[in-house]
């Protein structure tokens, strides 16, 4: 019992340590009007970014960057403090996810087995 409690406390502390500190956006809009709409958006983005794991953080910021269009990556570098290569990778990953030809929910071969394959031949009387 004691061991279990100790492990869960250790896990919690480890997860807490993994959470990224919330980045303060140094952009002009945030400095000039810290309570403005843009500053609120940048603050919200950085809150989400801090809570996500590495892969999802990269994809979330990559999505924002691609939605912003030209200069989007540079803008998100400023807003989030992430490296441009990380954001570029996130953009590519999000674009790849949008690919219509790869529109599968499960990996090939994933999901339940077909009922015919699952059924055992335990009742030979059924086959007669």
Does position 30 interact with Zn ion (CB under 5 A)? The reply is yes
Nearest distance from C-beta of residue 74 to Zn ion, angstroms: 13
CB burial readout 108-121, b (16+ within 10 A) else e? eeeeeeeeeeeeee
* Contacts of residue 78, Cβ cutoff 8 Å, sequence gap at least 6: 25, 26, 27
Nearest distance from C-beta of residue 100 to Zn ion, angstroms: 34
User: How many C-beta neighbours within 10 Å does residue 88 have?
Assistant: 16
Does position 42 interact with Zn ion (CB under 5 A)? The reply is yes
Does position 10 interact with Zn ion (CB under 5 A)? The reply is no
Nearest distance from C-beta of residue 57 to Zn ion, angstroms: 17
Which residue ranges make up the site for Zn ion (CB under 5 A)? 25, 27, 30, 42
């Amino acid at each position: 019992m004691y061991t279990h409690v100790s492990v869960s406390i250790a896990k919690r502390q480890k997860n807490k340590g993994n959470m990224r500190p919330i980045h303060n956006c140094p952009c002009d809009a945030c400095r000039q009007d810290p309570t403005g709409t843009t500053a609120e958006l940048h603050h919200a983005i950085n809150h989400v970014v801090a809570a996500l794991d590495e892969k999802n953080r990269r994809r979330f910021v990559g999505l924002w960057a691609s939605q912003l269009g030209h200069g989007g990556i540079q803008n998100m570098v400023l807003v989030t403090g992430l490296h441009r290569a990380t954001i570029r990778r996130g953009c590519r990953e999000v674009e790849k996810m949008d690919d219509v030809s790869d529109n599968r929910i499960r990996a090939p071969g994933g999901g339940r087995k077909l009922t015919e394959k699952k059924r055992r031949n335990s009742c030979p009387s059924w086959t007669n």
